[in-house]
Amino acid sequence: MINKFTCLFLLAILCSTCLFAQQEQQPKDGSLDVHFNGLGYMDNREYSAFVPRSRTYSGTRTALDFGINLDSLNHFVVGLNAQHEFGGRPFFVNTAPVFYYRYETRKWTFNVGEFPREGLLTQYPRALLNDTLRYERPNVEGLSTSLHTQYGYETIWIDWVSRQTQTDREQFIFGDCGTYIPKPGAPFFLSHYFLLLHDAGDASNNPQPGITDNGGAQIRVGLDFSHRTVFDSLKFDAGGMLSLERVRGLDGFQIPKGFVASAFISYHKFALYDEFYAGQGSHIIYGDSFYEKSVYNRLDVIYSPFVFKHIKGQFIMSFHQSPGFYGDSQQAFRLIYDIGRKKLVRFRSDNLL
């Protein structure tokens, strides 16, 4: 049985371990900085296999935040990430406050609050976390802790999706992901990804679906020959996937399983990314719907017409093949910009800690 309090307790222990992992001397010089970044996107999806998801996503996400750095370890970040959908009214149809504390050493990072998903969980396979989340839900609301070493990284996180009220269901996702490199500098790696959505229902006495648990996991082994050949990137991996699906009181865990594989190759402004799945169909609520199929292949053809220090523009043509539907496609353009963190002022923080 999944016990949410146990999960939170274990995560708190790991986060506390992070805070005391390194006894580093803290400089007393603080600073205030600003960070501006955003995303412009036009993503048209022509899906015969999933008509409700055959739609166009278009708009911009603009994020502006200010960081109060008490020293090299302790940081507070406050800001806003606002979404505008082209033609939408009101202008900002979705705003996500950014408000979090970050503790950061050479190896450990700990976040608590509302912090960006980008760069933290965007490495998750689309089978587990679909790629529309970067448009619709750019922040994690909860906790995360990460360890980075020469042998790879490990990240544990919890994201509170919905607070329980008389009308809203209690929902949170917790997960773990990481990559292990047995020999630093060698091409071989082992990666794993796990998440589980816990849905406990609302606080009313009205009839409602039972408590549900829904999620999945993947483990992959691969080879990364990036910058070892004429290609800028050359990476292959393969492994297994399973999903975890149950309604408490009605059934036990249903555990569909399958095989996954991917390949990524890039050369200058061009890249190809292919993903393949074969096995039992999985219904993962925050995952890509195509993985409900027994066989699925996706090929992305990527062209980046301009790549500068702070700006990157990409055209992506995606071809989706599943049983009975071989002509599904997706055409997308994304403009990503990030000026990085810029210091505004410095101050003495001796009396703040």
Task: Give the pLDDT confidence of 325-339 residue by residue, as tens digits.
Answer: 999 999 999 999 999
One-letter amino acid at 227 equals H
Q: What DSSP line would sit under 25-38, residue for residue?
A: PPPSEEEEEEEEEE
pLDDT, tens only, 133-178: 999 999 999 999 999 999 999 999 999 999 888 888 889 999 999 9
pLDDT greater than 60 at residue 89: yes
CA angle 158, 164, 165 (to 5 degrees): 155
The proportion of the chain whose per-residue pLDDT surpasses 70, expressed as a percent, equals 91
Strands 270-279 vs 295-307: parallel, antiparallel or unpaired: antiparallel
Judged on CB neighbours under 10 Å (0-12, 13-18, 19+), 18 is: buried
pLDDT at 1: 44
Helix (H, G, I), strand (E, B) or coil at 344: strand
From start to end of the chain, where are the E strands? 29-46, 56-69, 74-85, 94-104, 108-116, 139-149, 152-162, 170-180, 188-201, 212-224, 233-247, 257-267, 270-279, 295-307, 311-322, 325-348
Cα→Cα distances 314→124, 141, 300, 332, Å: 20, 29, 12, 8
**Predicted local distance difference test score (pLDDT) of residue 97:** 95
Q: What pLDDT band is residue 3 in, cutting at 50, 70 and 90?
A: low
Mean pLDDT (the chain, rounded): 90
Would the pLDDT of 4 be above 60?
no
Indicate the SS3 state at residue 338. Answer: strand
Q: Enumerate domains of the chain plus CATH numbers.
A: 39-348 (2.40.160)
26: pLDDT strictly greater than 70: no
Least confident of 40-44, 125-129, 314-318, 346-350: 346-350
Nearest to 144 by CA among 17, 14, 22: 14
- Residue 102's nearest CA partner among 82, 125, 79 is 79
pLDDT of 20 strictly over 50: no
Look at 44 and 21; give whichever has higher pLDDT.
44
Residue-wise burial string across 28-57, b where 16 or more C-beta atoms lie within 10 A, e elsewhere: eebbebebbbbbbbebebebebbeeeeeeb
pLDDT band for position 15 (cuts 50, 70, 90): low
Position 312 pLDDT exceeds 80: yes
pLDDT of residue 351: 58
Range with lowest mean pLDDT among 15-29, 86-100, 157-171, 184-198: 15-29
**Predicted confidence band at 237 (pLDDT cuts at 50, 70, 90)?**
very high
User: Per-residue pLDDT averaged across 227-247, rounded?
Assistant: 95
